[in-house]
Every structure is written in C-alpha cells, then in structure tokens.
C-alpha cells in the first residue's frame, strides 16, 4: 500500500470510523426490530401472515445469519465504552 493510502486510512480511523460504527449500531437495532416484525414467527412472534412474509424472505436472507448472531451475542456494559 502506498504511503498516501496508509495515511488516508489513519485519518479515516481518526475521524470517521467511530461515527460510522456508532451509526451502524443504531441501524442494527432498527433492522432488528424489522426482522422481528417480519420474520418474528421464526421466533414465535407472528404479526404478518406467514404467507405474505415469506415474500420478504429473499430480501432479508443475507442478514438472517448476521442478525441471529447479533441478537444472541452477550453484551456487557464495558462493551459500550468504546
């Protein structure tokens, strides 16, 4: 990697990375809610009739694995410090 690129990345870390991660965390919570509402019957919480929520399946498919992992991960107060 060229020096300029390395420097650019360091600056990215200094300025933007923290913000973008925090935003992604908020987005994950919203996505969470969405997943619950639409595919909730996967967890036993039916809201939309499954006949129709199945239509959404292809679009949320890539997130399902990540969603499950994110939901089930233990979280401690010290996780939120940084």
Could you tell me the smallest distance in angstroms from the CB atom of residue 36 to other proteins?
10
Could you tell me the smallest distance in angstroms from the CB atom of residue 72 to other proteins?
10
Q: Report in angstroms the alpha-carbon separations of 70 from 14, 37, 58, 65, 80.
A: 26, 16, 20, 9, 14
Could you tell me the smallest distance in angstroms from the CB atom of residue 41 to other proteins?
7
CB atoms within 10 A of CB 7: 11
With beta carbons less than 8 A apart as the criterion, state whether 39 and 55 touch. Answer: no
Q: Which of residues 25-64 bind other proteins (CB under 8 A)?
A: 25-28, 30-31, 33-34, 37-38, 41-42, 47-64
Binding residues for other proteins, rule: CB under 8 A, are 1, 6-7, 9-28, 30-31, 33-34, 37-38, 41-42, 47-66, 69-70, 73-74, 76-82
């Amino acid at each position: 990697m060229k020096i300029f690129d390395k420097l650019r990345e360091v600056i990215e870390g200094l300025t933007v990375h923290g913000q973008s991660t925090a935003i992604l965390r908020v987005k994950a919570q919203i996505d969470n809610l969405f997943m619950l509402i639409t595919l909730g019957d996967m967890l036993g919480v039916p809201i939309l009739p499954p006949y129709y929520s199945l239509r959404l399946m292809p679009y949320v498919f890539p997130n399902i694995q990540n969603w499950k992992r994110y939901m089930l991960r233990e979280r401690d107060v010290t996780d939120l410090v940084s």
